[in-house]
């Protein structure tokens, strides 16, 4: 006999939460006293080759990260809806820096390259790999 639908949904939610937790732990930033905090956006993106400012529940963020994953590109994902970040403040700062406060905001070699659809397109047409091979200014 099949379990009730609510039990199946609960099981899927539990599995999904596990995937999110694993992603956040994998992408979490281990800070030492010399590290730059992700809230210090300009210095953080200068320090890391690829940075994605994201929310765990955002479908466009998931698309951008999946595109990076599919290309085998390592990145720092800053999940602004986690770790007691001041999400509004970070989004305001991203808006000043990039012209929009929506997520994802993807940076490669210190430069803003776009959001979810932009990142997917750049991965498909090879621009993303090219950007990564360029040296920083």
pLDDT digits (tens, 9 = 90+) for 60-113: 999 999 999 999 999 999 999 988 888 999 999 999 999 999 999 999 999 999
How many domains, the chain? 1
Domain-embedded: residue 21: no
| pLDDT range class, residue 32, cuts 50, 70, 90 | very low
Residue 76 inside a domain? The answer is yes
> Would you say residue 26 has pLDDT above 50?
no
In a domain, 20, yes or no: no
pLDDT for the residue 36: 57
- Domain containing 94 equals 39-133
Residue 125 sits in a domain whose CATH number is 3.40.30.10
Please indicate, yes or no, whether the overall pTM of this predicted structure exceeds 0.95.
no
> Is residue 9 situated within a structural domain?
no
Give me the mean pLDDT over the 34-63 stretch.
88
Position 123 pLDDT exceeds 90: yes
Q: Is the dihedral of CA 39, 42, 44, 45 positive or negative?
A: positive
């Amino acid at each position: 006999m099949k379990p009730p639908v609510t039990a199946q949904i609960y099981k899927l939610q539990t599995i999904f939460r596990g995937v999110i937790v694993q992603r956040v732990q994998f992408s979490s930033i281990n800070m030492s006293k010399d590290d730059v905090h992700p809230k210090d956006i300009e210095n953080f993106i200068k320090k890391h080759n690829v940075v994605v400012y994201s929310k765990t529940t955002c479908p466009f963020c998931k698309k951008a990260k999946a595109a990076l994953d599919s290309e085998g590109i390592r990145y720092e994902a800053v999940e602004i809806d986690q770790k007691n970040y001041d999400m509004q403040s970070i989004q305001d700062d991203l808006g000043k820096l990039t012209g929009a406060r929506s997520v994802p905001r993807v940076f490669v070699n210190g430069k803003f390259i776009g959001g979810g659809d932009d990142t997917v397109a750049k991965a498909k047409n090879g621009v993303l790999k090219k950007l990564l091979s360029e040296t920083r200014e």
